[in-house]
């Protein structure tokens, strides 16, 4: 079937018609007869419409969005979306350094590298750990390099404690007294006068030191040690002596160990063992009467 164009009215019509149906319709209309055309229509002369393609695209997009909302998760799991190349379902964690650490099979390697990084970082900040097993003698042999707020002062037994400050070095210090029988010092640099005499108090960061001479007046001069480190103190009951202002009990056999208590003359203790170098392991009544174990020099102990 082909289309013809009427030379009279200019309309197009099927070649199945013998004559132009539009012209016949016009003639019948003028004669007052109803139209007898059984087919054919006037061909629109306007250009092609864009409404239909746009509508089709919009419908397709809406259908795709609906399918994604309803079945997107299931489809993603089947296609393996969101998984890393190693097969881990857990997404990578971005670290502060800009790298990524993933859990699962690769976590051990990442942890190792992270540990190495943290180790390098801590190393760059300097030595922040306390010197291990540092005795007064070892610390005194270190070179000078720190600065104390006082380098020489006098005090009396019973006077307020004097707190020394230190600067320089790594910033992490340990305090040591040459002789706790004359003056003690705590981890904050607070010096307490105990008995008449002169003693050195030092601060060290493990690589350098600074000394302060403390001259104590008043009180009694420490008596001759009951046990001069020869192991003559007997195990069992003992009394604290030579400590009118108190003597520290430490967590280990040495002044480098922290003090855990303070005892005074007349306190009862139990000598448990000889720890060497004039130190003894003792038992005593701690806070609340709880039996506590510590270490004290034999200089301050005497069998009854």
Q: Compute the chain's Rg from CA coordinates.
A: 50
Locate 212 and state its tokens. Answer: 């302060």
What per-residue confidence (pLDDT) applies to 103? 41
What per-residue confidence (pLDDT) applies to 74? 80
Residue 273 has pLDDT above 60, yes or no: yes
What per-residue confidence (pLDDT) applies to 190? 95
- pLDDT, tens digit, for every residue of 129-186? 445 568 888 899 999 999 999 999 999 998 999 999 999 988 899 999 999 999 999 9
Q: Across the chain, what does the average pLDDT equal?
A: 77
Beta carbons of 193 and 214 less than 8 angstroms apart = yes
Q: What is the pTM of this model?
A: 0.35
The Cα–Cα gap between 275 and 293 comes to 13
Residue % of the chain over a pLDDT of 70: 72
Nearest to 183 by CA among 169, 167, 200: 200
Report the half-sphere exposure of 175 (CA within 13 A, side-chain side): 21
What average pLDDT score do residues 220-226 get?
49
Phi, psi of 154 (to 5 degrees): -115, 150
149 Cβ neighbours under 8 A, 6+ residues apart: 164, 165, 166
294 Cβ neighbours under 8 A, 6+ residues apart: 249, 250, 251, 260, 261, 281, 282, 284
Residue 77 has pLDDT above 70, yes or no: yes
Q: Sheet with 291-297: list strands edge to edge.
A: 259-263, 247-250, 291-297, 279-285, 268-276, 236-240, 301-302
The Cα–Cα gap between 298 and 285 comes to 18
- pLDDT, tens digit, for every residue of 180-204? 999 999 999 999 999 999 999 999 9
Locate 191 and state its tokens. Answer: 């010096």
Report the DSSP pairing between strands 147-148 and 166-167. Answer: antiparallel
3-state secondary structure of 87: coil
264 Cβ neighbours under 8 A, 6+ residues apart: 240, 243, 244, 245, 246, 247
Phi, psi of 61 (to 5 degrees): -65, -40
What per-residue confidence (pLDDT) applies to 304? 86
Residue 260 has pLDDT above 60, yes or no: yes
What confidence tier does 208 reach under pLDDT thresholds 50, 70, 90?
A: very high
């Amino acid at each position: 079937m082909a289309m013809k164009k009427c030379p009279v009215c200019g309309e197009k019509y099927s070649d199945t018609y013998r004559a132009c149906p539009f012209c016949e319709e016009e003639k019948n209309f003028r004669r007052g007869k109803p139209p007898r055309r059984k087919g054919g229509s006037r061909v629109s002369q306007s250009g092609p419409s864009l409404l239909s393609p746009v509508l089709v695209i919009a419908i397709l997009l809406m259908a795709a969005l609906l399918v994604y909302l309803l079945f997107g998760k299931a489809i993603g799991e089947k296609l393996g979306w969101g998984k890393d190349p190693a097969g881990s379902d857990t997404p990578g964690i971005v670290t502060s350094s800009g790298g990524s650490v993933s859990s699962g099979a690769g976590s051990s390697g990442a942890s190792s590298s992270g540990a190495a990084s943290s180790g390098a970082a801590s190393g760059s900040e300097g030595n922040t750990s306390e010197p291990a097993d540092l005795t007064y003698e070892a610390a005194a042999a270190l070179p000078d390099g720190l600065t104390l707020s006082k380098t020489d002062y006098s005090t009396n037994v019973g006077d307020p404690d004097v707190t020394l400050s230190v600067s320089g070095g790594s910033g992490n210090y340990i305090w040591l007294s040459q002789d706790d029988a004359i003056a003690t010092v705590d981890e904050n640099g607070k010096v307490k006068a105990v008995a008449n005499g002169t003693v050195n108090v030092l601060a060290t960061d493990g690589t350098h030191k600074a000394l302060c001479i403390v001259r104590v007046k008043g009180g009694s001069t420490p008596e001759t040690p009951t046990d001069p480190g020869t192991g003559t103190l007997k195990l069992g009951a003992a009394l604290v002596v030579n400590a009118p202002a108190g003597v520290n009990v430490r967590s280990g056999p040495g002044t480098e160990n922290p003090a855990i208590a303070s005892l005074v003359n007349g306190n009862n203790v139990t000598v448990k063992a000889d720890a060497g170098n004039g130190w003894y392991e003792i038992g005593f009544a701690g806070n609340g009467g709880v039996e506590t174990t510590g270490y004290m020099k034999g200089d301050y102990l005497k069998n009854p």
